[in-house]
Amino acid sequence: MDDFRLVRAKSGTNQEGTSAHNQRVILDALRINGALSRADLARATNLTKQTVSNLVENLERDGLVRPQDVVRKGRGQPSTPYCLVPEGAFAIGLQIDRHVTRAIAVDLVGNVLVRAEAKLSTDGPATGVRIILGLIEGVRRDLQRQRPQAERRLSGLGIAMPGPFGLDGADDDEWMMASWQAFPLLETLAAGTGLEVGLQNDAAACATAERMLGNARGLDHAVCIYIGYGIGAGLILGGELYSGAHGNAGEIGMALFSDGGRQTPLEHRASMASLYQHLGIDPAADAYHAVFDLVERDDPRIGEWISRAATDLRWAVHLVETLFDPQSVILSGGASETLMRRLLAATEPLLPSLAERKGRPVPRLQLGMTDPWAVALGAAAEPIGRAFEPRFSAILKERG
Amino acid sequence: MDDFRLVRAKSGTNQEGTSAHNQRVILDALRINGALSRADLARATNLTKQTVSNLVENLERDGLVRPQDVVRKGRGQPSTPYCLVPEGAFAIGLQIDRHVTRAIAVDLVGNVLVRAEAKLSTDGPATGVRIILGLIEGVRRDLQRQRPQAERRLSGLGIAMPGPFGLDGADDDEWMMASWQAFPLLETLAAGTGLEVGLQNDAAACATAERMLGNARGLDHAVCIYIGYGIGAGLILGGELYSGAHGNAGEIGMALFSDGGRQTPLEHRASMASLYQHLGIDPAADAYHAVFDLVERDDPRIGEWISRAATDLRWAVHLVETLFDPQSVILSGGASETLMRRLLAATEPLLPSLAERKGRPVPRLQLGMTDPWAVALGAAAEPIGRAFEPRFSAILKERG
DNA sequence: GGATTAAGTCAATACGTTTGACTTAATAAG
DNA sequence: CTTATTAAGTCAAACGTATTGACTTAATCC
């Protein structure tokens, strides 16, 4: 009678799925390539001119694309390139980190319109959520002031926080945020903001940002190694962010590796936390600027940490190249650009791997965003991607 | 004028894509769940009864499904379950290994109908291809004799061989098959057989087999660690086999790990090749039975190898759990079941990882196929999957 | 100034899913 | 035993979306 619940099957699709996909494909093409004419779009997407015209008309009516000046290029009727309308959609991104939370508002093309941050006390999530809701409310007010259409066009709230998610019986050691994990955060924030919420770990958020706005734009296979308080890998596999069965894919910080006989998680050696420890800095204070200053003054302890961390990072790059076979690995992090550049340089030469091939169009390892706001940006990019990027799941019918 | 070639975009879709997907979804549901009525299918796929009826009618006309006896269960009109027709499609699978090649013929549900194997000389691919083409031709003749409709319904030729693929300047050491890599194998076999050919590495093929017929059936996130001559991981991510940007994802055998100071590829320690070396067996001879006998006689050298290999395997399992966050890891290999069982047992207890959670529906690590024919089976499953499994790429329009 | 080329539109058509009413066939309740 | 209820499955019309081929427009080339 109700044993049909046990039937495992994928979802079917219908014409609306078709249309939804095609609209997303067009928006994606405009995002990656900039303005394109309808004829260009038809060729690039394998759709007919007529279909593209219909879809573009819809998108223009919805305020997501707009025509630019007519372009004459050679023989034939001049073309009308269309481009994304930045004000076509907005999203709020929220980063929850150990000691700080950041909220950000972006538009459809990724312009950052509002930023705000607040300290998080160690009182745990109950008080933390109050702070966060206040922060988000402020950001929304500011956004609304700048862009009156924003509230109507808010596509959601993206949340990024350190993983791993859903551990049972996790020790609440300083590396994890177990009390936050146990708290019904998504439900609370969804109720408190009235927005659709999505969750990623911080490395995934960073990869999302790199894909929408950074060096991974247009790449379908990329791994973003994110060095934050911990270290993790955000995975772009087959054109989509991959999160694994429980949202924990890419948690490379927890990978054990041999360290002179003992097995240590990578996170304990290559992460900002390990740097803070090495420097004797209190992470709860303004660690970013403390490190920034030491880097600028070229403190020898920075070099010590870099050479140790680079050794481990070299191994991590080798590992993700070997296991994921990406087009490129992107190193990003919430530390100062100088520090990240030095770390990148110290990681070279990379270990030999399958990725070592002639005529690579992109480098094996490249620097990505180095900005404390990168994760919040990626968090904000998530709802935009969910609403506007081509994905398999967007084609399928919803249950019910 | 022709700069539109530079426009990067995903492909659009149309009603035929919709229908193709829905048909695949129905076949997939029948494969995973066994016979289902049209009403069951409608509920499971979120399609309407009417749509399912139309699709099932098409599938029945195409000879892919057939009705079973009417089933009375409770109130209401009795239902008619439909099931896959084994003779609805056939495929040939080909494994090319270092010293041997195996060909296999399967039907739609994975029944093995024909097997054949041949030794491969070390003369390289030119003579090898002649042997292979002969082998395939024999298998097709046998298949045709058993199932007269087979030739009309052959969906393709799947090839599995050791990776990695597309290395430039690869040393032709005993672990790789560089001369085979350089040879235009796919083109030659496509031309020689007139079939559509597909290529996977052996670990991927094993994962394909486990997904279609083994312990990964119905799982959308699984990693299959395959111990063959080398060692590799086949990745089922998000319901599809993942091969990476160049077909080399999961080549864990090439992952370097610290071994008392030195960095060694995993492959040099946990692989049949390392066992052959440890035992002083010539892999070109009948190594399978030589090992089989030593295992049955409980030769102490087997235990030595197992304990060493298990240590490394434990680490490999930890690594793929950490990086891929799968529902389960499946250990399979072309060695005797006894050996694989002992290796599995020696790998326990597993290292702590994110996968350690209460109420797991499937074990963290489980034994998969232990059969020299598993890879060939997976190779044969690939064309079936390409033709009949739901995948994103199957929805999209073809270029042109 | 006419030929050619390319962008884009128009109107009719084809395809596949959906909708709602209907039929069939079983069990449950009175 | 009769009637109500439930569920599977069908029918035919409607709907949404992409496609087709002819047509228009507007530029460059010769």
Q: Between these two residues, B381 and A163, which has the higher pLDDT value?
A: B381
Instruction: Please answer whether residues A231 and A266 qualify as being in contact, where contact means their C-beta atoms are separated by less than 8 angstroms.
Output: yes
The shortest CB-CB distance from B390 to any of A10, A318, A354 is to: A10
| Arithmetic mean of pLDDT, B225-231 | 94
Contacts A–B by Cβ distance under 8 A: 239
With b meaning 16 or more CB within 10 Å and e meaning fewer, what string describes A99-118?
ebbbbbbbbbbbeebbebbe
Task: Classify residue B333 by its DSSP letter.
Answer: E
Cis peptide before B349 (omega within 30 of 0): yes
Phi-psi region of B360 (alpha: psi -120 to 50; beta: other; left: phi over 0): beta
Query: How high is the pLDDT of residue A3?
Result: 42
Nearest to B303 by CA among B266, B339, B332, B265: B339
* Residue A243 CB contacts under 8 Å (≥ 6 apart), including other chains: A200, A204, A235, A249, B325
Q: Identify nearest nucleotide to residue B4 by CA to C1′ distance.
A: C6
Nearest to B386 by CA among B162, B63, B154: B154
Quote the CA–CA distance of A312 and A270 in Å, as a whole number: 7
- Taking CB atoms and an 8 Å cutoff, what residues of chain B touch A41? 9
Subunit contact B256:A351, Cβ cutoff 8 A: yes
Coil, strand or helix: which one is B102? Answer: strand
Quote the CA–CA distance of A332 and A316 in Å, as a whole number: 14
Residue A117 amino acid letter: E
Quote the CA–CA distance of B352 and B195 in Å, as a whole number: 46
Q: How far is CA A122 from CA A97, A126, A164, in A?
A: 11, 10, 19
Q: Which of residues 126-165 of B touch strand C (CB under 7 A)?
A: none
- The confidence band for B181, taking pLDDT boundaries of 50, 70 and 90, is confident
Quote the CA–CA distance of A126 and A337 in Å, as a whole number: 34
Quote the CA–CA distance of A374 and A377 in Å, as a whole number: 5
Selected residue of A3, A21, A235 to mutate for chain B interface (largest B Cβ count, 10 A): A21
As a whole-number percent, the residues of chain B with pLDDT over 90 amount to 80
Subunit contact A7:B325, Cβ cutoff 8 A: no
Subunit contact A221:B244, Cβ cutoff 8 A: yes
- Give the minimum alpha-carbon distance from A118 to chain B in angstroms, rounded to a whole number: 30
Neighbours of B79 (CB within 10 A): 16
Residue A140 amino acid letter: R
Quote the CA–CA distance of A209 and B3 in Å, as a whole number: 28
- Taking CB atoms and an 8 Å cutoff, what residues of chain B touch A14? 18, 47, 51
- The confidence band for B211, taking pLDDT boundaries of 50, 70 and 90, is very high
Q: What is the pLDDT along chain A (400 residues), one digit of tens a residue?
A: 334 458 999 999 999 999 999 999 999 999 999 999 999 999 999 999 999 999 999 999 999 999 999 999 889 999 999 999 999 999 999 999 888 999 999 999 999 999 999 998 877 788 899 999 999 999 999 999 999 999 999 999 999 999 888 776 555 555 456 677 778 999 999 999 999 999 999 999 999 999 999 999 989 999 999 999 999 999 999 999 999 999 999 999 999 887 766 788 999 989 999 999 999 998 878 888 899 999 999 999 999 999 999 999 999 999 999 999 999 999 999 889 999 999 999 999 999 888 988 888 999 999 999 999 999 999 999 999 999 999 999 999 987 6
Helix/strand/coil (H, E, C) string of chain A? CCHHHHCCCCCCECHHHHHHHHHHHHHHHHHHHCCECHHHHHHHHCCCHHHHHHHHHHHHHCCCEEECCCECCCCCCCECCEEECHHHCEEEEEEECCCEEEEEEEECCCCEEEEEEEECCCCCHHHHHHHHHHHHHHHHHHHHHHCCCCHHHEEEEEEEECCCCCCCCCCCCCCCCHHHHHCCHHHHHHHHHCCCEEEEEHHHHHHHHHHHHCCCCCCCCEEEEEECCCEEEEEEECCEEECCCCCCCCCHHHCEEEECCEEEEHHHCCCHHHHHHHHCCCCCCCHHHHHHHHHHCCCHHHHHHHHHHHHHHHHHHHHHHHHHCCCEEEEEECCCHHHHHHHHHHHCCCCCCCCCCCCCCCCCEEEEEECCCHHHHHHHHHHHHHHHCCCHHHHECCCC
- Taking CB atoms and an 8 Å cutoff, what residues of chain A touch B237? 237-238, 242, 244
Cα Rg of chain B, angstroms: 22
Which bases along strand D come within 7 Å of a protein CB atom? Answer: 5-12, 16-21, 24-29
Quote the CA–CA distance of B239 and B224 in Å, as a whole number: 14
Q: What is the pLDDT of residues B142-157, one digit of tens each?
A: 999 999 999 999 999 9
Coil, strand or helix: which one is B225? Answer: strand
Contact flag, residue A18 CB and nucleic strand D, below 7 A: yes
Coil, strand or helix: which one is B355? Answer: coil
Nearest to A161 by CA among A95, A257, A65: A95
Contact flag, residue A211 CB and nucleic strand C, below 7 A: no
Angle at B65 between CA B63 and CA B71, to 5 degrees: 140
- Taking CB atoms and an 8 Å cutoff, what residues of chain A touch B7? 29, 33, 36, 40, 43-44
Quote the CA–CA distance of B255 and B271 in Å, as a whole number: 13
Selected residue of B3, B5, B33, B46 to mutate for chain A interface (largest A Cβ count, 10 A): B46
A37 to chain B: closest CA residue: B4
A77: its two tokens: 């009727």
The shortest CB-CB distance from B43 to any of A4, A22, A320 is to: A4
Coil, strand or helix: which one is B241? Answer: strand
Query: How high is the pLDDT of residue A263?
Result: 81
Coil, strand or helix: which one is B331? Answer: strand
Which bases along strand C come within 7 Å of a protein CB atom? Answer: 4-11, 14-20, 23-28
Quote the CA–CA distance of A137 and A118 in Å, as a whole number: 13
Q: How far apart are the first and last CA of chain A?
A: 17
- Give the minimum alpha-carbon distance from A17 to chain B in angstroms, rounded to a whole number: 8
Quote the CA–CA distance of B345 and B367 in Å, as a whole number: 10
B358 to chain A: closest CA residue: A168
Helix/strand/coil (H, E, C) string of B268-283? HCCCHHHHHHHHCCCC
Q: Which of residues 7-36 of B touch strand C (CB under 7 A)?
A: 15-16, 18-19, 22
- Taking CB atoms and an 8 Å cutoff, what residues of chain A touch B326? 244-245
* Residue A316 CB contacts under 8 Å (≥ 6 apart), including other chains: A225, A231, A233, A252, A255, A266, A270
Quote the CA–CA distance of B168 and A358 in Å, as a whole number: 7
The strand pair at A197-201 and B36-37 is best described as: unpaired
Contact flag, residue A47 CB and nucleic strand D, below 7 A: yes
Selected residue of B23, B83, B237, B320 to mutate for chain A interface (largest A Cβ count, 10 A): B237
Beta bridge partners of A200: A160
Burial class (CB in 10 A: 0-12, 13-18, 19+), A136: buried
Residue nearest to nucleotide C25 (CA to C1'): B77
Q: What is the pLDDT of residues B38-50, one digit of tens each?
A: 999 999 999 999 9
The shortest CB-CB distance from B168 to any of A45, A255, A357 is to: A357
Residue B204 amino acid letter: A
Quote the CA–CA distance of A136 and A158 in Å, as a whole number: 11
Q: How far is CA B197 from CA A60, A156, B170, B245, B399, in A?
A: 43, 44, 25, 19, 19
Phi-psi region of A76 (alpha: psi -120 to 50; beta: other; left: phi over 0): left
Subunit contact B354:A1, Cβ cutoff 8 A: no
Determine the length of chain A: 400
Domains of chain A (ranges; CATH) run: 3-84 (1.10.10.10), 89-200+377-389 (3.30.420.40), 208-371 (3.30.420.40)
Residue B195 amino acid letter: L
- Taking CB atoms and an 8 Å cutoff, what residues of chain A touch B73? 1
* Residue A326 CB contacts under 8 Å (≥ 6 apart), including other chains: A219, A221, A222, A223, A236, A320, A355, B244, B245
Nearest to A7 by CA among B230, B334, B96, B26: B26
Task: Estimate in Å the CA A53 to C1' C10 gap, whole number.
Answer: 12
Instruction: Please answer whether residues B270 and B203 qualify as being in contact, where contact means their C-beta atoms are separated by less than 8 angstroms.
Output: no
Task: Classify residue B298 by its DSSP letter.
Answer: T
The shortest CB-CB distance from A237 to any of B4, B164, B237 is to: B237
Q: What is the pLDDT of residues B106-128, one digit of tens each?
A: 999 999 999 999 998 877 788 89
Q: What is the pLDDT of residues A205-229, one digit of tens each?
A: 999 999 999 999 989 999 999 999 9
- Give the minimum alpha-carbon distance from B149 to chain A in angstroms, rounded to a whole number: 29
B281: its two tokens: 């067996």
Q: Which of residues 73-132 of A touch strand D (CB under 7 A)?
A: 74-78
Q: How far is CA B202 from CA B164, B208, B228, in A?
A: 10, 10, 8
A173: its two tokens: 């050691």
Quote the CA–CA distance of A97 and A94 in Å, as a whole number: 10
Query: How high is the pLDDT of residue B1?
Result: 35
